[in-house]
Amino acid sequence: MTETTAEHLAALLRTAGFAESHVESRLAILRLSLAKLAALQHLIAAGGTLALGQLADRLECNRSNVTQLVDRLEADGFVHRAPDLNDRRSRLAVITGAGRVVYEEGTRARTRAEQELFASLSAEEGEQLIRLMAKLDRAAGAR
Amino acid sequence: MTETTAEHLAALLRTAGFAESHVESRLAILRLSLAKLAALQHLIAAGGTLALGQLADRLECNRSNVTQLVDRLEADGFVHRAPDLNDRRSRLAVITGAGRVVYEEGTRARTRAEQELFASLSAEEGEQLIRLMAKLDRAAGAR
DNA sequence: CAAGATTGATTAATCAATCTTT
DNA sequence: AAAGATTGATTAATCAATCTTG
């Protein structure tokens, strides 16, 4: 398990790129992306409103990344910013009606795209995939 | 193989992201990245010089992407641009001495990082990985 | 001073113009 | 007109300031 190691990384990154493009291209039709959809999902799970810092924590990403992500969602009319009355340093992201509608459409589109991708795998292969990914996560030092 | 399909995409993208970060962080120490290293590899394989369009073809990416990639490689002193005497529309990327040195260092660093990632996989698991990625590539419509 | 958000920079990819040369 | 490279725009992530508020 050392000689062909280089092909493994290349294959993993290549396939992940194709899979991501496949799903992103479907979401783009709805003015969505995986990043935007995940943000809307966390907002809805939280009841429609989250402080930007809370959203960053749940997306497990940078605060400044969330600032820009909310900029884009706001430009699309899927979210708007509101002041946080409890802490004036903080700003709230609030999902709009259009945001709730597009979230439902986007979730269906993502599910369809995922099924297209993984339909060819048997139940056993699906389990192999999950097991392999978990092993690699540990090796890469994922917390 | 439909109910848990959502976890499969998430796991694949998550793991690929961790693996990429793992390798990129090692390359960054040398002022390199996977994109830069691949470009240097193609230049060396071609004897040190390639027209930007040829490089784009071999990297299987956009021409404008290559323009920017060569900008960065040039800023690092790993490559320089030269006129193409056969076709004055075209520009050549020429690898420098520093580029050849850093390519050797980068290749060793990448190999080490890849081995760390995939050392935990058995030979059979390695084959499973390659087989699964190939299946998903076909489903995603990879040409 | 520390926390929350923002701004600007950098890397990376893609797409749509644009400009030069064939 | 078509090919080759570049420029500018957009999406996405990260990091280093910075500015406001606690």
Does A64 contact B at CB distance below 8 Å?
no
Does B112 contact A at CB distance below 8 Å?
no
State pLDDT tens for residues B78-90.
Answer: 999 999 999 999 9
State pLDDT tens for residues A9-24.
Answer: 999 999 999 999 999 9
Task: Say yes or no to pLDDT of B131 above 90.
Answer: yes
What values do phi and psi take at B91, rounded to 5?
-125, 145
User: Which residues in chain A have Cβ-Cβ distances shorter than 8 Å to B18?
Assistant: 136-137, 140-142
Task: Say yes or no to pLDDT of B2 above 80.
Answer: no
Position B141 scores a pLDDT of: 77
Q: Of the ranges A121-125, B31-35, B48-52, B139-143, which one carries the lowest mean pLDDT score?
A: B139-143
Burial A83-97 (b: 16+ CB within 10 A, else e): eeeeeeeeebbebbe
Say which of B21, B135, B142 has its CB closest to residue A121: B135
What percent of chain B shows pLDDT beyond 90?
92
Alpha helices in chain A (DSSP H): 5-28, 34-45, 52-59, 63-75, 97-118, 123-139
Contact criterion met (CB < 8 Å) for A129 and B132: yes
Side by side, which strands form the sheet with A79-83? Answer: A49-51, A91-95, A79-83
3 state SS of B72: helix
Structural contact between residues B113 and B34, judged by C-beta atoms closer than 8 angstroms = no
Round to a whole number and report the distance in Å from the CA of B84 to the C1' of D18.
46
Say which of B118, B138, B142 has its CB closest to residue A8: B118
Q: Is the CB of B33 under 7 A from strand C?
A: yes
Say which of B20, B118, B119 has its CB closest to residue A13: B20
Closest residue by C-alpha to C1' distance, nucleotide C13: B65
